[in-house]
Amino acid sequence: EAGVAQSPRYKIIEKRQSVAFWCNPISGHATLYWYQQILGQGPKLLIQFQNNGVVDDSQLPKDRFSAERLKGVDSTLKIQPAKLEDSAVYLCASSFLDGGNEQFFGPGTRLTVL
Amino acid sequence: GENVEQHPSTLSVQEGDSAVIKCTYSDSASNYFPWYKQELGKRPQLIIDIRSNVGEKKDQRIAVTLNKTAKHFSLHITETQPEDSAVYFCAASFGNQFYFGTGTSLTVIP
């Protein structure tokens, strides 16, 4: 089966600019996760969708981050405006159902904010 | 919320020796515990998982043990090989939520 797709793979922006990431989960996976992974740390959940509804966004910095999954399939994560501390790898993952099922990760988008 | 602690942060072993990585969690409601391997510049990949109704699970050279009472679980890799070198993450999950440990960088010295 095709894996989780993400684009772009790399992005370099200056602080205060905007950036958007895209994720296409595995076909049929209802749950989609966005994680932020800072170098040397474990993935930190930003937002979780079940179909097109938000299940958990408690750790999403809502003043600058937003995400949507309008049709319950692919998703976009946006940062506006970016800060230096947003430099990280942004991982998208999907699973067939909710917790208790394997998450499949995409290749990630490495964001560098200068 | 859940708090997952992982130790050690770095681990070096000689090829053929065993490696053990330990994680503790705080929320007794967590009932699913996956382990991921992440090679440099690559995505995390599931290598083994265990559910709270099981105390131990083994898959070839990899095993995971779970102690629900003490709220800790461990990854055991036997007969380590250079290709086992990577960062390993544990996670604890309940329902919709996953919480990851901070990772262990394992180096297997040939």
Q: Which residue shows structure tokens 């699973």?
A: A95
CA distance B49 to chain A (A): 8
Specify which residues A94 forms β-bridges with.
A32, A104
Q: Which two tokens stand for residue B24?
A: 């503790």
d(C-alpha B102, C-alpha B87), whole Å: 10
pLDDT at B97: 76
Cross-chain Cβ contact A42/B100 below 8 Å: yes
When the pLDDT of each residue in chain A is averaged and rounded to a whole number, the result is 92
CA angle B19, B23, B24 (to 5 degrees): 155
Q: In chain B, which residues have their Cβ closer than 8 Å to the Cβ of A43?
A: 44, 89, 100
> Which of B33, B18, B81, B103 has the alpha carbon at shortest distance from A39?
B103
pLDDT at A1: 54
> What tens digit of pLDDT does each residue of A41-72 get?
889 999 999 988 998 898 899 999 999 998 88
Burial of A98 (0-12, 13-18, 19+ CB in 10 A): middle
Average pLDDT for residues B14-30, to the nearest whole number?
96
Q: Which two tokens stand for residue A2?
A: 């095709």
Q: What share of chain B has pLDDT > 70, as a percent?
A: 99
Interface test with B, best of A23, A58, A95, A98 (most B CBs within 10 A): A98
**Cβ atoms B46, B34 nearer than 8 A:** yes
CA distance A64 to chain B (A): 22
Fill in the amino acid letter for B77.
Answer: I
Nearest to A107 among B43, B94, B102 (CB): B43
Residue by residue, DSSP assigns A15-47 as TT--EEEEEE--TT--EEEEEEE-TTS--EEEE
- State the DSSP code for A60: S
**Cβ atoms B11, B107 nearer than 8 A:** yes
Average pLDDT for residues A77-85, to the nearest whole number?
97
**Cβ atoms A41, B102 nearer than 8 A:** yes
Nearest to B34 among A50, A91, A102 (CB): A102
Average pLDDT for residues B15-36, to the nearest whole number?
95
pLDDT at B88: 97
Q: What share of chain A has pLDDT > 90, as a percent?
A: 74
Cross-chain Cβ contact B96/A105 below 8 Å: no
> Which of B100, B71, B73, B98 has the alpha carbon at shortest distance from B87?
B100
